[in-house]
């Protein structure tokens, strides 16, 4: 039975973000990494989130809100921002919607990403 991908793309999970979360395939773009990280939040996959965080900014753990229901992801803008210290960089602006304890919340963020040794990593919010 096919399961739609939580990231919002019209694709099956296994063919979309599942390639990255379950099979270790690096995300080909910062946007793909953003989508897979959103999916990791939906699935509460701490290991994937930590693995895809740039080491200099990586927290020791990720806390998930109990009973959170993720409602959707909307990518507003994806831009390659050039080179920094010889590495490709990009920014992704997104809106993620989540309901926690019956209250709907919107997380609107512009995130920075860097490609290190062929793997995109989340850096920080801008």
pLDDT of residue 99 exceeding 70, the answer is yes
Q: Which two structure tokens, joined as six digits, stand for 108?
A: 């609107």
Q: What is the spatial distance between Cα 115 and Cα 68, in angstroms, rounded to a whole number?
A: 30
Separation of CA 100 from chain center? 19
Q: What pLDDT, in 10s, does the model give residues 11-50?
A: 999 999 999 999 999 999 999 999 999 999 999 999 999 9
What is the predicted pLDDT for the residue at 83? 75
What pTM does this model have?
Answer: 0.94
User: How big, in percent rounded to 5, are the helix, strand and coil portions of the chain?
Assistant: 25, 45, 35
* Mean pLDDT, residues 2-16: 94
Q: What pLDDT, in 10s, does the model give residues 61-95?
A: 999 999 999 999 999 999 988 877 778 999 999 99
User: 109, 77 in Cβ contact below 8 A?
Assistant: no
């Amino acid at each position: 039975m096919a399961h739609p991908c939580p990231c919002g793309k019209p694709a099956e999970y296994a063919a979309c973000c599942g390639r990255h979360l379950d099979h270790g395939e690096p995300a080909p773009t910062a946007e793909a990494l953003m989508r897979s990280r959103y999916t990791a939040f939906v699935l509460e996959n701490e290991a994937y989130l930590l693995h895809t965080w740039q080491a200099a900014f990586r927290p020791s753990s990720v806390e998930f809100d109990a009973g959170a229901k993720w409602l959707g992801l909307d990518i507003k803008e994806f831009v390659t921002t050039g080179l920094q210290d010889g590495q490709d960089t990009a920014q992704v602006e997104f809106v993620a919607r989540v309901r926690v304890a019956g209250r709907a919340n919107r997380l609107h963020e512009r995130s920075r990403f860097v490609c290190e040794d062929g793997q995109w990593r989340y850096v920080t919010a801008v």
